[in-house]
Every structure is written in structure tokens, then in C-alpha cells.
Amino acid sequence: MSRRVFGAFAAIVVTTLFVGVVVSMFDHVETNPALPLSDAGIIREQAAAKDLDPALIAAVIYAETKFDPRPSPAGAQGLMQILPATAYYLAHLSGGVSFTASDLSEPSVNLAYGSYYLRYLLNHYDGDEMLAVAAYNAGLTNVDEWIARAHAEGTQLRPEAIPFPETREYVRRVLSAQSAYRATYPRQLGIQ
């Protein structure tokens, strides 16, 4: 190979790598500090893989950590605040064989498990986002009990009837943020 061909090839490789790095940096940029977004590529990937609204995933992350992952007092970890016990259960359900709790600090793993859990909850509640979001916060058992109580009274469980004030507010915050993410980041989330 001549020097000229090799030089042209090297220039193309360097330029491609540079463009790739710059583009990936934009995936982590917060364009609106009041409504942060990072790891949009992972969110899009997990939304597509699990048939979820990417704005819902972003909204759950916003409600859980505002895209600033830190362990909770209860021990939940990562962007989507997954408890290690929940992650081990999800790993078992999904066929994961090499999961360790420390993996939850990795955004790709955390979002994979969090979005798997969201899909699991949406399937359990026949696609009802309000119920799935409530269960993400308060637990499936609590939400199932609230639904049973509402049905015994001849009604549907409505957000204002959620007995836990924290969960009521969480549901409101997530569903509101979901709309905001759809409006603010349609291109980044792939929902144009």
C-alpha cells in the first residue's frame, strides 16, 4: 500500500472516530437544565427492545434521580433506582446469568433492568401506565391491593385515590414529565 493511500485511509479513520466521539457527546448533553436528559441512545435502545415509550423511561429516570444517579437510603441504585433484590429477580426472569448488584451503576445495565421492569408492570396492568408507574414506586403487591379494594367498592383506582401520598405525587410527577420529555426531546428520544 502506498504512503498516499495509507495517509488517506488514516485520515478517514481519524475523522470517523472524531465524528463518532462528538456525536456520542451530544447523547449526554443536557439541553434543558430544568428537564435533564442523558444516555438518550440507551433509552431509545431499551424503549425499542421492550416496546416502551422512551419518554416514559426518561420520566421515570427524572422522577427517580433527575439523571444524577446516587444510591437511595433504601439501597436502590443507578439512574432508575433499582433495588438489588429486584434486579436479581429480574435477572432470573429475563434469563440473566452473570448479574451482580454492582452492575446497577452502569447506565446500560440499569436502564435494561429498569425498562424490563416497566414492561413487566405494564404487561401486568394491561398497558395502564398510571398503575405501572404506581407499582414501580410502591410495589406490585400494594397496587394490586388498592385495585382490589377499588373494585370491591365498584370503582377503578384513580390517581387521587392512591393511599400513599408519596406514590400519588410520584405518579403525577412521572406522567407530567413524560409529556414534557415528549415535547422537549422528540428527536433525541426518537419519537418524531
Q: Which residues are catalytic?
A: 64
User: Which of 64, 43, 66 has its CA nearest to residue 55?
Assistant: 43
Amino acid at 93: L
- The Cα–Cα gap between 56 and 178 comes to 5
Largest CA distance in the chain: 82
Listed in sequence order, the residues at least 6 apart from 39 whose beta carbon sits closer than 8 Å to its beta carbon are: 27, 28, 67, 79, 107, 111
Q: Helical H runs in the chain?
A: 3-26, 40-50, 54-65, 84-94, 107-124, 129-138, 140-152, 165-184, 186-189
8 Å CB contact between 61 and 79: yes
Cell numbers for 144, please give them: 394490586
